[in-house]
Amino acid sequence: MPGDTVLKILMQKVQNLDINLSFLEQYMEVLNSRYVNIFKLYSKDIGEKDLLIRMIKEDIRSFLHQQEVMMKDVSELDSWKSHFSVQFDHIRRDNAILR
């Protein structure tokens, strides 16, 4: 019967669509699990990088503090040098006068 063949063809197409849908669902699940694993790795990697960046920032702060301390020491040394130079000049003048 022509109506039966049309019905059979439609049934086969519906079965094929159902099978294809099953394959598509399985494929999507596999892709989803892969992407979940990839994002977990990225998240872990980003966490490690964040920790490294924090450590670098702390090192930079420490270096800046050390630089400030060194600049203060250099300033004190320069002040001492100028004070010593003035005293040394006075001593040389006094020695010259005494000679």
Q: What is the pLDDT of residues 22-76, one digit of tens each?
A: 999 999 999 999 999 999 999 999 999 999 999 999 999 999 999 999 999 999 9
Residue 19 CA to residue 22 CA, distance in Å, equals 5
Residue 72 CA to residue 64 CA, distance in Å, equals 12
Q: Output the pTM of the full model.
A: 0.56
- Structure-token pair, residue 49: 């990088």
- Position 85 scores a pLDDT of 94
- Position 4 scores a pLDDT of 84
Q: Is 68 helix (H, G, I), strand (E, B) or coil?
A: helix
